[in-house]
Amino acid sequence: MGTMANAESYILAIGTKKGLWLAHSTDRKEWSLNGPHFLMSEIPSIGIDTRGDSPRIMVGVRSEHWGPTVAHSDDLGATWTEPEQGAISFPEDTEAALERVWQIYPDAESRPGVVWAGCEPISVWKSTDGGEHFELNRGLWDHPHRSEWGAGYGGAAAHSIVVDPSGEKVHIAMSTGGVYRSLDGGTSWEARNKGISAYFMPDPNPEFGQCVHKIAADAAVDGRLYAQNHHGVYRTDDDGENWESIAEGLPADFGFVMLTHPRRSGTAWVVPLKADGERIPPDGRLAVHRTDDAGRSWKRLETGLPDHEYNSVLRDAASVDTAEPVGVYFGTRGGAVYASADEGESFTEVVSHLPDVLCVRAAVVSDAVVPAASVPA
Amino acid sequence: MADITVVLPSVLQPLAGGQSVLTAPAGGAVTVGALLDAVTGDYPVLARRLRDETGTLRRYVNIYVNGEEIRRLKGLETEVAAGQEVLIIQSVAGG
């Protein structure tokens, strides 16, 4: 039994347009599935906090009828708790109302209990109690650029949050507005978009207004981040002071996903789509692309993926885990979810025919915490 | 003193301790907004399902007073008389 208690399991949370499904695996190839949780509500954001004794799953939930909320589970989905007053609620003086929670980001191991959230309308929030109550970031809310931020096709939201190990440097991305950086832990914010194209604006190189779809931090190089833009794939080596294109070698520079390796510098994944006006995989062939040299070259990865696919992969519908080798996961708007146990070299289908996949998050957990009912026979 | 009753759709009843009808005592006419304040005071999650944090009625939540949807009347300022029934119904939306 001692070895069993130490064995690792993998949890994959799949947020869709009509509810949440939870998948469990011991080998990242065979998956058992339970759900739906929150049937008929969309789940646009998931955070799995593995810093405590047992993993906490936090989800942004949004019902067309009954509005948005945040719920969490400390027993892998057996029960869910929703704080009575709402985990995220705009203060009265803002005269704003929460539309959708786009991002739930557990902070570093060294800051237990700290969880960030990115929301629509464009706002960033921080919790210090494990995601049960969040405070509005006033520096961003009161930013003088706010009146000029726009809405992307999916709504106006802060959708990416990246906090460096010190906790002082915070990068966020919003659609549309672009990348903003704080060097004081989130107290003040400055636009950092030099080099990122906003081809859809009269001035294609504005200070802000870009439609950055996703940013992710390099595992080890301080100051290095990667961005998937609304046309354009970029890297910065100086905390966003300058962005340079790393799109060469990709079949298209449009897409939503940007993932980075949790430990190895230079490794990132994207899922290219043909174009803004044709949001399908290039040539109808779905493929993940990985760089291991910080974007100088890309490797096409499609083993195990279908021969044709005309659905897109949304910005948070992709994730990595922290195992060795790293697992890569993504889902499509056609309701298929794929998992790779070898950094994308090969994929297996976790499930198909779910509603549109909006968000996936994966985590490595101890077998000891997995409810017996969800362990395959 | 006749009560005002508020009838909940089944999907919201678990948020009101399983009740299908909430009642508020009324000495005279009250607004729908004040009525919601009164009957959801003990059920903050239910309150948030109906109105957002600015107090605005959610777009696909319909409230009927005497068979009339309140958006065609005075919205949350619509008055409800003692003894009347208020229906909360989710609109037909989505796909």
Best residue in B52, B60, B63, B88 for a mutation probing chain A (most A CBs within 10 Å):
B52
Kindly report which listed range (A64-68, A92-96, A333-337, B24-28) carries the lowest average pLDDT score.
B24-28
Cβ contact (<8 Å) for A95 and B54? yes
3-state class percentages of chain B: helix first, strand second, coil last, to nearest 5: 30, 30, 40
How many Cα atoms are found within 13 Å in the side-chain-facing hemisphere of A247? 21
What is the Cα–Cα distance from A21 to A321, expressed in whole angstroms? 17
Size of interface A-B (CB pairs under 8 A): 47
The shortest CB-CB distance from B60 to any of A64, A85, A89 is to: A64
Q: What is the pTM of this model?
A: 0.95
CB A308 within 8 A of CB A281: no
Would the CA dihedral through A184, A264, A341, A260 be positive or negative?
Answer: positive
pLDDT at site A150: 86
pLDDT at site A377: 34
Give the DSSP letter string of A109-137: TTSTT-EEEEEETTEEEEESSSSSSEEE-
What is the Cα–Cα distance from A170 to A181, expressed in whole angstroms? 6
Task: Give A197 to chain B, closest Cα distance, Å.
Answer: 36
Q: At B93, is the pLDDT very low, low, confident or very high (cuts 50, 70, 90)?
A: low
Helix (H, G, I), strand (E, B) or coil at B48: helix
The shortest CB-CB distance from A65 to any of B45, B48, B61 is to: B61
What is the Cα–Cα distance from A363 to A47, expressed in whole angstroms? 10
pLDDT at site A376: 43
Q: Both tokens of residue B35?
A: 């009525």
Q: At A124, is the pLDDT very low, low, confident or very high (cuts 50, 70, 90)?
A: very high
Residues from B contacting A (CB-CB < 8 Å) are 12, 44-45, 48-50, 52-54, 56, 58, 60-61, 90-91, 93-94
ipTM higher than 0.95? no
pLDDT at site A6: 56
In the numeric block, the tokens 């007073």 are attached to: B65
CB A76 within 8 A of CB A55: yes
Kindly report which listed range (A87-96, A162-171, A195-204, A275-284) carries the lowest average pLDDT score.
A195-204
Task: Give B1 to chain A, closest Cα distance, Å.
Answer: 32
pLDDT at site A145: 97
Cβ contact (<8 Å) for A98 and B52? yes
pLDDT at site B64: 97
Q: Both tokens of residue A228?
A: 């998937």
The pLDDT > 90 percentage for chain A reads 90
Cβ contact (<8 Å) for B53 and A64? no
CB atoms under 10 Å from CB of A178, counted, come to 27
Task: Give B80 to chain A, closest Cα distance, Å.
Answer: 23
Bridge partner list, A14? A21, A360
Q: At A3, is the pLDDT very low, low, confident or very high (cuts 50, 70, 90)?
A: very low
In the numeric block, the tokens 């539309």 are attached to: A99
pLDDT tens digits along A29-61: 999 999 999 999 999 999 999 999 899 999 999
Task: Give A5 to chain B, closest Cα distance, Å.
Answer: 37
What is the Cα–Cα distance from A16 to A355, expressed in whole angstroms? 6
The pLDDT > 70 percentage for chain A reads 97
Cβ contact (<8 Å) for A96 and B54? yes
The shortest CB-CB distance from B58 to any of A65, A84, A86 is to: A65
What is the Cα–Cα distance from A77 to A73, expressed in whole angstroms? 6
pLDDT at site A143: 98
Best residue in B15, B46, B48 for a mutation probing chain A (most A CBs within 10 Å):
B48
